[in-house]
Structure 1
């Protein structure tokens, strides 16, 4: 080959490689010039808006505010763009059990004995969830008093950046047909809307199974008007009170620490519209209010916190949607899938499924011994992925949640350290109707598992009670276990419950904030996230949380 030809070929290869790298990197990592580590932040700064939490609500809110004003965003976690592979679809479970100090998911156990997680990353829960994207049910929008035209416009603004139609391959297709056989009809095809029946939903995973998150919505931001600091942990909100009797506390800034433990102070400008906005999630938002002196007076005094306002409702009415389901090992290979299909039943249960995911190291041994044949099938279904610790399940899980649980709990401070998750009670199944809803959902799942459409993914030798016993034997929570839970679906629901991570309600509209999300009795302070919700909006809240931020 001539030297000139070799030079041309080498140049061509380099150009192709550069273009490939550019477009792949562009897909995964937007170039945000305004994002920096908090260690580089000034010790004192002033802003029109200070936003605590760059999560699922915080990112679209920050992008929107930056269109017209100067905004500071303080995010306690890192960026999802440095570890793109961990957020890919197949690694959904692995990400939740990452125990590193800078993991995207902070693990905690609720006081109910249920394994749980909090997002600790730019993009919030949209970085660690199962990716399903669906609009709120119309009842939720009506009850919240939201402008329907503005809601529609805001959803569309989000969807231009982060949503895709969910793929429906063999496993998901069998679940779809099984739901229709079970009477969860009609088939509504692909839609964002919350409609009773079976539908294909949207997802934030693209065709290459890469996750897109609320952090991608920062592409809308005006870079001249926004500063965003990572690993910035807010310790308290600063308040001033006029000397006149009956005057209201006013938020004037926040105190935060960077990763080195250095203290920084950020203050609002003297513009009358300036505000501190808390978007730290259903656990983090009431925790910060309490750490700042807004909450139940007995709890604040017990922690030595100066009381700004005795507010008994802060941290109350916390709720989560319990998740129950059935694990189904498959005799056939299955695709990697996450919540593509949803069945919305007449009774208000939502049925979804996933398959083929990488499984983390088990958090414990089987809770009860399994019969040899079931144990063999389960272990055979755990296919090695090349790691000595992780396996991929040949099979999947069909799950259900009740749309509007009646049982609620509350939050109590564990310490004055904002890095420490407070004590959390969800009081799952405290109300009998929540147990009845779970039983109805499980009955629908059993119909799907036993349907003709799903039969090719079933081992004929393993009965439905065997599958229930297999599921009940998994180390799904820390709660007391009862013998033969599969003999009673009510007991099965209690024994196998896990979180759906759909926490909400701890700073509800009308109880902690007004209809414009202003904290009652406090000036220049709002809360905007799922803590303000009275119920979970539809099958998955992330679409509505992003819409609310917009």
Structure 2
């Protein structure tokens, strides 16, 4: 059997593409996922994300190279390796980014990516259960909901932010992004709604859609410069004449697969013993991510989600409420509240984002912390540092080399330092301070700028938003053109967060689905252009 479209990666983007491209019953579509089906109950129970970091069979579990500006630490980069991809293991926050992000994209990649166009796709995707105005949609495949039972401490965080002169904001995707509030989440009836559940599961019975799981693609095959299919460990899947391979493996896996297929920096490929099909120096470059630092505090009481014998009765009640009604504490996405601020009032958009967690969180949840506490994250939304994905080995099963280059640009550290100081002010503002026994991180002894910078270098981590390694653009040096077509070859596209020309000011899941929808429409409008 041959296919009109072979989609590599059933994550946030791949599931949207599979839905849209298989709508025509005469079109044969194959969707390939390296991981398993999304049957694990911890995926679907929102609070289960606290356990997902431990489940290596659902997670690529990447590590960066030693980061020069972070005390040469290797940072853990979890990415979903399961149907739904990272939308099956993330915190479910629904965020579009700032309109200025997409105006910048339009300048770099053309009017297809300007704010009015992408906004219309966001609205069309959405089925918002609460907000009913011109900024939101109803009836789309992606259910967006308020949290069913937010922790009282999350509301205290909002009040504390307002006490620090940040405006209250009930809708970060509405009139303005600035301010603090409770996040909306991609949940339906208190359960996670991943891209797989929203876009793939409803169409899995289409006879022209083939789903292949637990199958890692080793390379794209070519005849000359035209893609002809993909090579798995034990077989080849072929394209029909005029068909296309679409890479949707994400910011790490898509450039990795391009390089394994002979498309990338020529000297690097040759050094690995790989033939060079197309010398494309920017494959793997332009890597951007949101670097994050936390403030933590121990509580006087037990309002938080805690790891302690005294929490057991609450856990039993939460399990009962979740199973019976899709309500209760187990519907929590953990990062319940947050907001956006500017490190400098002159900024054209917010460049700091907060994620408030009514619990202790250490090492991405991989290290348990006893007791009751809170964690306030702050990240730099618009970093200027850029890193790279590169080959570590010609073996397709070997992970690539990730050099994030955090804080490599001199402007990034002052921004994150400003964010850390503001997060600390919020944590100690009266609405939260009345609950706090003591600050535990960075700790009351860490006061000077020098000490705070040392703390950032010792503790900062990713907040899981890598983008940009197959950037699209109008310029000939870009990896893909504005429709996701890989330059220098035919019949091959990329459609995922890797094509972002610049990182956006917000969470990246909904924008990745928007990217897939936009590129699917390009394909359907021009089926013979490849």
Aligned partners of 1:509 and 1:532 also within 8 Å: yes
**Is 2:122 the counterpart of 1:164?**
no
Q: 1:356 to 1:404 in 2, by over 3 A?
A: same
Q: 1:105: how far off?
A: 4.5
Q: 1:317 to 1:362 in 2, by over 3 A?
A: closer
**Is 2:171 the counterpart of 1:190?**
yes
2:240 aligns to what?
A: 269
Q: 1:278: how far off?
A: 0.4
1:114 aligns to what?
A: 75
1:62 aligns to what?
A: 18
Work out the CA distance in 1 between the residues paired with 2:252 and 2:387: 12
2:484 aligns to what?
A: 517
Q: 1:268: how far off?
A: 1.5
Instruction: Decide which of 393, 400, 408 is 1:430's aligned counterpart.
Output: 408
Aligned partners of 1:175 and 1:448 also within 8 Å: yes
Work out the CA distance in 1 between the residues paired with 2:285 and 2:62: 22
Query: How many pairs are equivalent?
Result: 447
Work out the CA distance in 2 between the residues paired with 1:358 and 1:438: 19
Comparing 498-507 with 283-292, greater Cα deviation is found at 498-507
Q: 1:517: how far off?
A: 1.1
Aligned partners of 1:93 and 1:360 also within 8 Å: no
1:27 aligns to what?
A: none
Aligned partners of 1:176 and 1:198 also within 8 Å: yes
Question: For each residue in 1:191-234, what CA deviation from the matched residue of structure 2 results, as whole angstroms up to 9, or x when unmatched?
Answer: 434611223321124454x3220101114537122111001111
Q: 1:362: how far off?
A: 8.2
Aligned partners of 1:406 and 1:434 also within 8 Å: yes
2:266 aligns to what?
A: 297
Work out the CA distance in 1 between the residues paired with 2:240 and 2:161: 56
Aligned partners of 2:92 and 2:185 also within 8 Å: yes
**Is 2:325 the counterpart of 1:329?**
no
Q: 1:342 to 1:358 in 2, by over 3 A?
A: closer
**Is 2:379 the counterpart of 1:401?**
yes
Q: How is 1:90-239 mapped onto 2 (pairs within 5 angstroms)?
A: 90-99=47-56, 102-112=57-67, 113-145=74-106, 146=113, 148-160=115-127, 161-167=142-148, 168-185=150-167, 187-193=168-174, 195-206=177-188, 208=190, 210-216=191-197, 217-221=199-203, 223-239=206-222
Work out the CA distance in 2 between the residues paired with 1:137 and 1:512: 24
Aligned partners of 1:401 and 1:438 also within 8 Å: yes
Instruction: Decide which of 39, 49, 53 is 2:9's aligned counterpart.
Output: 53
Work out the CA distance in 1 between the residues paired with 2:163 and 2:101: 29
Aligned partners of 2:6 and 2:30 also within 8 Å: yes
After superposition, the CA RMSD in angstroms is 2.5
Q: Secondary structure at the match of 2:283?
A: coil
Q: 1:312 to 1:471 in 2, by over 3 A?
A: farther
Q: 1:471 to 1:83 in 2, by over 3 A?
A: farther
Q: 1:250: how far off?
A: 1.2
**Is 2:506 the counterpart of 1:539?**
yes
Work out the CA distance in 1 between the residues paired with 2:94 and 2:365: 28
Aligned partners of 1:52 and 1:280 also within 8 Å: yes
Question: For each residue in 1:373-418, what CA deviation from the matched residue of structure 2 results, as whole angstroms up to 9, or x when unmatched?
Answer: xxxxxx9x715xxxxxxxxxx2221001111111111122112233
1:85 aligns to what?
A: 42
Q: 1:118: how far off?
A: 2.3
1:418 aligns to what?
A: 396
1:368 aligns to what?
A: none
TM-score (norm 1): 0.76
Q: 1:359: how far off?
A: 7.3
Question: For each residue in 1:258-315, what CA deviation from the matched residue of structure 2 results, as whole angstroms up to 9, or x when unmatched?
Answer: xxxxx221121113xx211101110000000000000111211122111101111111
Q: 1:470 to 1:543 in 2, by over 3 A?
A: farther
**Is 2:467 the counterpart of 1:504?**
yes
TM-score (norm 2): 0.79
Aligned partners of 2:94 and 2:510 also within 8 Å: yes
Aligned partners of 1:237 and 1:254 also within 8 Å: yes
Aligned partners of 2:170 and 2:181 also within 8 Å: yes
Structure 2: state its 5+ residue gaps: 68-73, 107-112, 128-141, 306-328, 344-350, 518-530
